[in-house]
Structure 1
Amino acid sequence: MFTFNSDGTMTRNHSLYPNTAATPDPNDDTIALSKDVPVNQSNNTWVRIFLPRQALDSSTDTKFPLVVYTHGGGLLLLSAATKIYHDLCSEIASRVPAIIVSVDYRLAPEHRLPAAYDDAVEVLQWVKTTQEHWLRQYADFSSCFIMGDSGGGNIAYHAALQAAAQVDDLLPLKIKGLILLKPFFGGVKRTESELRLANQPILPPPQTDFTWQLALPIGADRDHEYSNPIVGGGSKFLDQFRLLGWKVMVTGGSEDTLFDRQVELAKLMEQKGVNVVSYFDDSPHDMIGDPVKLEALYVNIKKFISS
């Protein structure tokens, strides 16, 4: 999937997870339209915006919830153009329905954390000021959600912490909640699920350790707040979620090595008085490989956003 080079860069094999082009033409047979828009050309960051076909119905002037999405890939891999994420965002856009702004953020190790967090927050700032037609015409800026899966769930969480500290600066964008799909967190001490699933082919502990080694600031261990929100010090900012009335959805699977960390984070937020909705099942980390569970995920996301 990748080769780590001696100069601190990575050579990525894109054949396993190929990219796909955006689909902006309303005459194409797609469940959602999409287009790519640059955000910061200096950092080569951009977004892929997904527009549900319902927005093209000329008989309604309905505004749709706005979701800022950060893709998975362990902070090291993949893109907003990766086909599995293009398809996932298209489905969410169509089924909720919602406008999805999928963030193509900078990857580690070339750009270690907090670069990806900064990119996600910059997209929130970009959304509030952009004159991009699909957003101005169809998005409900008073109903914004930050969402991410796996490594993107980690980014979404930390971007939300930053956003919670600058809500007035984000107006007229109003964030209503946070959706963390099997978020990627770590820690020095092994959890029960990491020990129990040590031989799990998807994200075994040595692989997650190596990922954090490449993604964290040089010299930081896995109890850094970017990796471990339980002991790393980042939890002190969670009170702001409660004060703002944000709600948080967390998903996890008991066959995921990261399961205990996802449960711990949900419990921590509940202890802070945050309104948390948890969906835990018996799945592994891969959330895209099971069509039945994926179908349930779409239903749960729609219920959460519309509640």
Structure 2
Amino acid sequence: MLDPADLNARMGSYFTAHVASSDPSGLVPIALDGKMLRGALRAKATATHLVSVFAYRARLVLGQLAVAEKSNEIPCVRALLTLLPGSLRWLVTVDAMHTQVVTAKLICATLKSHYLMIVKSNQAKILARITALPWAEVPAAATDDSRGHGRVETRTLQIITAARGIGFPYAKQIIRITRERLITATDQRSVEVVYAICSLPFEHARPTAIMTWMRQHWGIENSLHWIRDVTFDEDRHRAHTGNGAQVLATLRNTAINLHRLNGADNIAEACRITALTANRRLDLLNPQFPSSQASNQQRRSPALRWRLSSPGADSSRRGPGCWATRSSAR
């Protein structure tokens, strides 16, 4: 049986190395977020609950751990953070549950990195201090508009330099984002105010950068969770024996990562093409192995040549799985 911790460590180190090589000197923004595997619900037990580390600039999953039964995401997130290499500087974005003093110290003191954390009522004293600040006198530092899915959303960001009395370690900036949303079909309007704290000073975290990080953090649902649910039908998968659900989730993450490293934007389409194209499968599994060498290797392999040519894959036929058109279907 595969050890999920070992599998996660091996896959995570491979993709983390890719992120490091693509941006060796900069700050690597990552989001940590949890997801329930509802199909893996066992009798008299909760569904498998996994927390992932997602590098949203590269759109790669760097690690994943299961939340222990009768526990929550907080210790799991801290365990994931300790697995990150200290050679990189991270910008860790998390939801309000993880706005914790211990987590902030782990990020800044141990990892020598930085955080961007949402503040809600679970940190009531800090939230009260933040909301009491003179926001009406603070000008907008950045605005952002988006349209799509039948709605128009405007986000306005304000920033105040954090004073020592805020009561949270390493906080350098306090952020307020006002989100105004219009549903075009019904003309329904809503306003939501979100507060956050950041350990980076203004000169290293400008308003536009903070706006981008927060938007990308919220986008993990579409960039990862939605793909696992819809393309891979994860929530309906019934595997629950042993560590099966966790291992399969890691393999799904790996498939998504490999497709993205190969330049895919539409993972569902990439999966369909890969299923029909032998060259593409080899390229995904061994990106250092050039396609021309892969083709030569395939021609030297009678077993692989037989699988491609039969049944119904006659080379005289035109189709993505045939020798005549395989290169054009990539």
User: TM-score when scaled to structure 2?
Assistant: 0.33
User: TM-score when scaled to structure 1?
Assistant: 0.34
Identify the structure with the greater helix proportion. Answer: 2
